[in-house]
Chains A and B, each alone.
Chain A
Amino acid sequence: MKLKSPRAGALWWLTTAAALMSATAAHAEAASGIDAADTAWMISATALVLMMSIPGLALFYCGMVRKKNVLATMAQTLLCVCAGSILWAAACYSLTFSGDGALIGSLDHMFLSGIGMQTTSPLAKTIPELLFVAYQMTFAVITVALVAGSVVDRMRFSAFVCFAVLWLPIVYVPIAHWVWGNGWLMNAGVLDFAGGTVVHLNAGVAGLIGALVLGRRSGYGSENLSPFDLSLAVIGTGLLWVGWFGFNGGSALGAGSRAVFAIVATHLAASAGALTWMALEWWSRGKPSVLGMISGAVAGLGTITPASGFVLPWHGIVIGIIAGAVCFWACTALKRAFGYDDSLDVFGVHGVGGAIGTLLTGVFATAAVSAGAASGLIEGHSAQVPIQLLGIVATVAWSGGATFVLLKLIGLFVPLRVGKEQEFEGLDLSQHGEALQ
């Protein structure tokens, strides 16, 4: 080849060298099974799910509490993200996702040891294991943050810190291991695509226990406890909704059609849930509230979560409608009947929604979506529904029981509730020395 100048020659060598080097690198990645497309999507999904916690959930929750507790409510979410992340990297990831113990994982990857540039997890073969760690971390921290919603306006911050750092390893880790980490529920065939049991039912039940153990807010039922600024809650809902594309879509652990099916079913369920709650409220109360619309949307999102990667898009609509209706009932009639102060309806929306969604996964699971891995009642397989029920019962039992014991234990060392004066003054001032102007 005749080259025109020395500069052209240098350029030619440079390009060839670069091509050779990238080929080498690509070869190394291919040997480990890491796929660039899957990795790119999962990095994005991880960011989306983290956004669901901060600021999504922080805004969603703080908009619904009273002005004097807004900052404190955000502090709880922040604390869960920060403390939870460290704990996850330290030991909780390992205990959840390494080894194949029926009840708990191993400490093989404690402090992320053994996880290098080319390492992959057998549970997510086409992305770097560290990415799988990070992705799962965002799920763990948001689950703890969800629980806080039941005990807003009255939990002592010091007690909450103790609760958060203990609840993650004691309650979340086992359940996540059982359902996702090769534990006994996974081996029993329980289907939970993105966290109907692990995240929503778990948080919902724990929240209810928290609400019962801590007791009602002062003035509940008699005083005006109306929300500080619902526009913040609406913004939070938007961030949660968009973030959920990463929550459910990312649970496909790869960039492909399955992620897309999960995302579309998710989006339709949110829409259907919002419209259903809106319609029910319009009919029963005469006016459709914005709080109702966003609650219905979140109910739809939580309920579709376990089913999202197993069902067809139109199933998402059906599941969303059911979610909107049942969660509406749970947050109004059921709550009134029993009189518990689950302040932000973590049980009513996430608990009930998670349970129903897990059950409906056994109904609507369609073989074509999961490449034959899962099939439900709708395709003639009646055995899946009882298996789903097993998952629900196990989650409720462990979450409820362990959370109760944990709270009682913490209560022996530090009072769970703030004092009456502090509750009246507000948590922002009494716990954090700050106030919104």
Chain B
Amino acid sequence: MKLIIAIIKPSKLDEVREALGHAGVQGMTVTEVKGYGRQKGHTEIYRGAEYTVDFLPKIRMEIAVDDPQAERVIETIRSVANTGQIGDGKIFVMPIEHAMRIRTGETDAQAL
């Protein structure tokens, strides 16, 4: 089992969610985060006081998949979340040791 963590632009969330739905993904966890990579921040000015804001809003998606699905999910996210501009984000893949569905007690692949 793999935990796929994708940091993407907020504007791409709906598209990615829909595409993943078509790819067979039945659930995910999404959080609003701040971050930066090569994309620089912006400047805000308040009555002459200038502030450089480095952090930009991003969306973090976590999707738990069985090993055979991982490749397809990764490729879906990469192609849909891609705008060609700096700041599109990154995808990380981590191994999952155990998984369990709370309601039924099913484990591992049955829980995903």
- Residue among B44, B45, B47, B51 facing the most chain A CB atoms (10 A cut-off): B47
- Are B45 and A335 in contact, with the CB atoms below 8 A? no
For B40-78 the 0/1 string (1 means CB < 8 A from A) is: 000011111101010000000000000000000000000
Q: Mark A323-365, 1 if CB is under 8 A from B, else 0.
A: 0000000011101100000000100000000000000000000
Nearest-neighbor residue (CB-CB) of A221 within chain B: B49
Closest Cβ of chain B: how far from A341's Cβ, in Å? 10
CB <8 Å contact, B48 and A336? yes
Q: Could you mark each residue 216-232 of chain A with 1 if its beta carbon is under 8 Å from any beta carbon of chain B, else 0?
A: 00000000111100000
Which of A25-33, A38-46, A159-167, A289-297 is the contact stretch?
A289-297
Bound together, the chains give a CA A54 to CA B46 distance in angstroms of: 24
By beta carbon, the residue of chain A nearest B47 is A331
- Among A64, A225, A227, A332, which residue has its beta carbon within 8 angstroms of that of B48? A332
Distance in Å: Cβ of A328 to nearest Cβ of chain B? 9
Chain A 68-99, CB-CB to B under 8 Å as 1, else 0, gives 00000000000000000000000000000000
Interface residues of B, dominant DSSP: strand
A335 to B47, CA, bound (A): 10
A242 vs B43: C-alpha distance in the bound complex, in angstroms? 33
- Complex contacts, A335 vs chain B, CB 8 Å: 48
Asked if A285 is an interface residue, CB under 8 A from chain B, the answer is yes
B48 & A331 in contact (Cβ 8 Å cutoff): yes
Alpha-carbon gap, A435 to B46, bound state (A): 24
The residues of B that contact A345 with a CB separation of less than 8 Å are: 47
List A residues at the B interface (Cβ < 8 Å).
64, 224-227, 285, 287, 289, 291-292, 295, 331-333, 335-336, 345
Q: List 9 A-B contacts (CB under 8 A).
A: A224-B51, A224-B53, A226-B44, A226-B53, A285-B45, A287-B45, A289-B46, A331-B48, A332-B47
What residues of chain B have their CB less than 8 Å away from a CB belonging to chain A? Answer: 44-49, 51, 53
